[in-house]
Chains A and B, each alone.
Chain A
Amino acid sequence: MPASVASRGRRIRRDPVLLGAIVVLWLLLALFVLYPLADLLIRAFSDEGRFTLEPLLSSLADSGHRAAFRNSLILAASVGVLGTALGFLFAMTAVRGGLGRHWLTALDAAALLPLVSPPFTTSIAIIFSFGPKGFISHYLLGLNNVSAYGFWSTALAETLTYFPIAYLTLRPILAAIDPNLEEMAFSLGGSRWRIFRTVTLPLCVPGFANAFLLLFAASLADFATPLILAGNSFAVLPTQAYLQITGMFDFKGGAVLSLMLLVPAAAVYLLQRHWVGRRTYVTVTGKVGQRSRSRATAPWTMAALAAATFAVAAVILYFYALLLYASLVVAFGANETFTWRHYHVIFTEGLPAIRDTLIIAAVGMPLGGFYGVLVGYLIARRRFPGRQAMEIVSMINYALPGTIVGIAYLIAFNDPPLALTGGALIIVACYVFRYSPTGIRATVALLQQIDRSIEEASASLGAGSGQTFRRVTLPLIVPAFFAGLGVVFIRSMTAISATIFLVSLSWTLITVRILENMTELALGPAAAFSVFVIVVVFLVVAGLSAVLVRFRAPAAGAAARSLLGG
């Protein structure tokens, strides 16, 4: 709908709620995204007060850095494609598979495991399984001297770690496709394959694009997995940036390397906007009658899909059984006597970390969920000056590697009047602005499927934008709200790359304890902490789902069950 800037401006002024929300959001984004980034840019590109491009030019001239840049793109694209495909497979099985309640719960649990685990767990499980003396490679297959390091293991670990994001993005979209559409195509004589290709797949395009974008950005910024699995010959940029800063003590060089990552992240983002933005994907119109059960997928296809899905799920479950085992023996690999000792350690010495982490996660969760839905709603539904800018700015902290976000926060918020370091607030802010983009993207993708006429009807009946949002839009995007909320909570329990720079003498985190345990060779407590994190996240997510099911009634767009599982 073409509207001149002047008329948009007038419309906003008439709508104080909208205006207020936009102003507050911009203030927050300026403080927690733009200011640290600008501070960092100034440091990277200035030399004793003068502007210089020297660090950038010398980084680009280094052939090792160029190779790392290329490797990062290859890895991110592979993880994006593989993860989206795997997520779609899981989503198809969950939505169309006609699975019983218990099978569905098991599927959700397997899909969520990698997402809710602390860093390094997948990587370490892969080394234990496929390394030179791995359970699978050596003891089952009898291979000797295989290398578990390099591109394939890194891509595999990242795909398994991040595909649940694609699953969470795609599942509500698949569920929201009105079966009547496919039913119509079916009764018009289309073959199942043709319907899948011309109706189902195209309706998922915004979901694919969003999932790919999120996975691409997540892989681009991930440093923990390559740190362990990439080995000597497959360097990637986030790891290089981390090494540059913490190993070579070269802060400028590290900052420049990280900023190079913003270029591909922005490019993919603009591409997907261009690709997705021009079509409509409305299937929730408010005008639908009886919902029918989809016949568009053949039973044997479904059986094959389900078999593939459960094979992947079995691999994941096996990885985590290994983790549970490591937490229950004295010393994994050396003394495999059963013991509760490690759990005793984490609930005594580790108790402060557990308490701090839970407080921070509990505070960050609602803030992140609400922030995600609000930003997603504004950029998908509202026309106001600077809308695109807001969309891009809100993605920045997600796309940057954690090391750089952490250090930028540490520098930007160390001095008065903004002296936030040493407190809990800085960690909460880091989580909210770094991990809400999942909620934002989920909201946008869901809203693109919901016909505007529903909201227009509310507006024409005299409701203000606040009321329309609360009474009409919000119920429709509840699944996205809970997805965003869940991801922020999960990340608050599991992230490390940024927050290792933000923990302080008075506020520490479980993940930092896990890393510390790994340096102490205390695999047992590290595994016990990981198991604890997974259990807590599962309980919270299950709680959220229960709440969601209770308040689901008006959520026309949502599937029968919550996207958060169980």
Chain B
Amino acid sequence: MKLLRFLAISLAGWLAGLAIAHAAETVNVYTIWPENYARPMFQEFEKASGIKVNFIRFSSGEALARVIAEKNNPRIDVLFGGPVETFAAGIKEGIFEPYKSPSFAKLPARFKQVDGQWTAIADDPLVFMTNAAFLKSNNLQPPQSWNDLLNPAYKNQLQMADARTSGTAVTRIFSVLEVNKRDEEKAFDYLKKLRQNVQLYTKSGGGGTLPVGLGQAGGGIFFIVDALETKAKGYDVVISFPKEGIGSSAEAIALIKGAKNPDAGKKLIDFATGAAMQSKLAEHKVNFVPASPDVKTDPALADVLKGANVFPIDDEYAGANRKRIVDRWVKEVLGPQ
């Protein structure tokens, strides 16, 4: 009986899908948000607009490399999600078409590019995440300060992202710079000391979450969205914040230059940059902090963030110094043993 109902529903869904596919517009998207975050958002958009979303997920670097390679004959209309700096790199390649959605004017300056080349759809603070069993067996409290991570108990126990591939890592390094009042010598001094405790720099921002969850590593620094996802999967991890403060990075969306379905693309951007999408984040347990001032942060997420000292990374300062700082990090922190 259950099977029969399942079949009937799938058949109806399939027919409805056919009808929509024939009648409605489509929009083609590369998403940098993992599918489990992006899919429910696109489903909400399909429901609200009747426009079908064709999408595929890539990491930020791969998505950008593809869009650049496809420049002369674009295959997509919208690049969805992913840290702002990926979009900053895209601007240099001239792959975006400026577009200002109705929400554009309302957003604070750090959530948009002046000309409308990209617009923020969410905010994502960094957190410290540690394995509960590891803390217990070493008699440690969850780290409350950047200096707590220098404790020899963490030797060879931390996993965090590699600055060459990951926006998470760049946000982390700029957090350390801000905490040290942009004194680069002091900041790099800290980063070099931290290096002693790092087991592995992973290629992707969330690469270390599973090892920490499984106890292969003791802890690390991750985006809150990945940390809460690890917790939701059932791994016993603890989230904490440094009292000196920690940075937060915006997630963006952009229209592709030469898009074949520009109108549908613009509708998706209108949807994503406003309350229409961001008010659905909490419902689908996607733990990004909404960027739109019209949407309240989900109480559960706000609870995690309560009392945390989170500051935005200064866009202009980070943009102007990113390459130099990452190069220096590779040379002085990653390189030597």
Q: Which residues of A contact B (CB under 8 A)?
A: 64, 127-128, 131-134, 145, 147, 149, 227, 231-233, 243, 245-249, 251, 330-335, 407, 410-411, 414-416, 419, 421-422, 500-501, 503-506, 508, 516, 519-523
Contacts and interface: CB of A to CB of B under 8 A. Distances in A.
Contacts of B200: 149, 231-232
A229 to B, nearest CB: 10
A333 B56 contact: no
B335 interface: yes
**Most-contacted residue by chain B among A249, A407, A500, A523 (CB, 10 A):** A249
Contacts of B211: 127, 131
Contact of B36 (A64, A407, A508, A520): A520
B162 A247 contact: yes
Contacts of A333: 213-215, 235
B337 interface: yes
A414 B69 contact: yes
B89 interface: yes
A411 B233 CA distance: 39
Contact of A508 (B56, B75, B233, B330): B56
Given A330-B234, A331-B234, A421-B70, A505 B213 contact: no
Interface of B: 28, 34-36, 54-59, 61-62, 64-66, 68-70, 72-73, 75-76, 89, 93, 155-157, 162, 164-166, 198-201, 203-204, 206, 209-211, 213-217, 226, 229-230, 233-236, 326, 330, 334-335, 337
Contact of B65 (A245, A331, A334): A245
B164 A247 contact: yes
Contact of A516 (B34, B162, B199): B34
A505 B58 CA distance: 12
B210 A521 contact: yes
A249 B61 contact: yes
A289 to B, nearest CB: 60
B233 A419 contact: no
Contacts of A251: 65, 68
Contact of B236 (A334, A407, A501): A334
A245 B89 CA distance: 12
Contact of B229 (A64, A247, A500, A521): A521
A133 B69 contact: no
Nearest to A515: B59
A151 to B, nearest CB: 13
Given A132-B157, A246-B59, A521-B233, A232 B201 contact: yes
A415 B73 contact: yes
Contacts of A414: 69-70, 72-73
A527 to B, nearest CB: 12
Contact of A504 (B75, B155, B337): B75
A331 B233 contact: yes
Contacts of B93: 249
Contacts of A503: 56
B303 to A, nearest CB: 22
Contacts of B198: 232
B70 A247 contact: no
A501 B64 CA distance: 11
Contact of B73 (A64, A419, A505): A419
B264 to A, nearest CB: 14
Nearest to A132: B216
Nearest to A249: B89
A64 B64 CA distance: 25
A508 B54 CA distance: 12
A176 B65 CA distance: 48
B236 A149 contact: no
A506 B75 CA distance: 11
Nearest to B198: A232
A494 B203 CA distance: 21
Nearest to B26: A505
A251 B93 CA distance: 12
A339 B216 CA distance: 24
Given A133-B215, A411-B69, A505-B54, A246 B75 contact: no
Given A147-B156, A247-B162, A248-B164, A132 B337 contact: no
A321 to B, nearest CB: 18
B64 A249 contact: yes
B62 A246 contact: yes
A380 to B, nearest CB: 37
Nearest to A508: B56
A520 B230 contact: no
Contact of A501 (B34, B66, B235): B66
Given A127-B216, A505-B75, A521 B230 contact: yes
B201 to A, nearest CB: 6
Contact of A246 (B28, B61, B216, B229): B61
A422 B234 CA distance: 38
Nearest to B201: A232
Nearest to A333: B214
B65 A407 contact: yes
A335 B89 CA distance: 41
A427 to B, nearest CB: 14
A134 B216 CA distance: 7
A332 B214 CA distance: 8
Given A331-B234, A333-B214, A505-B54, 20 more contacts: A128-B216, A133-B214, A133-B215, A134-B216, A145-B156, A233-B337, A243-B162, A246-B61, A332-B214, A335-B234, A415-B73, A421-B73, A504-B75, A508-B56, A519-B57, A519-B59, A520-B34, A521-B210, A521-B229, A523-B210
Given A519-B34, A519-B206, A131 B72 contact: no
Contact of A522 (B36, B162, B235): B36
B69 A407 contact: yes
Contacts of A505: 28, 54-56, 75-76
A148 to B, nearest CB: 8
8 contacts: A128-B216, A131-B216, A246-B62, A251-B68, A331-B233, A505-B75, A505-B76, A521-B226
Contact of B70 (A127, A410, A516): A410
B216 A416 contact: no
A552 B278 CA distance: 64
Contacts of B73: 414-416, 419, 421
Contact of B204 (A145, A506, A519): A519
Nearest to B203: A227
A143 to B, nearest CB: 13
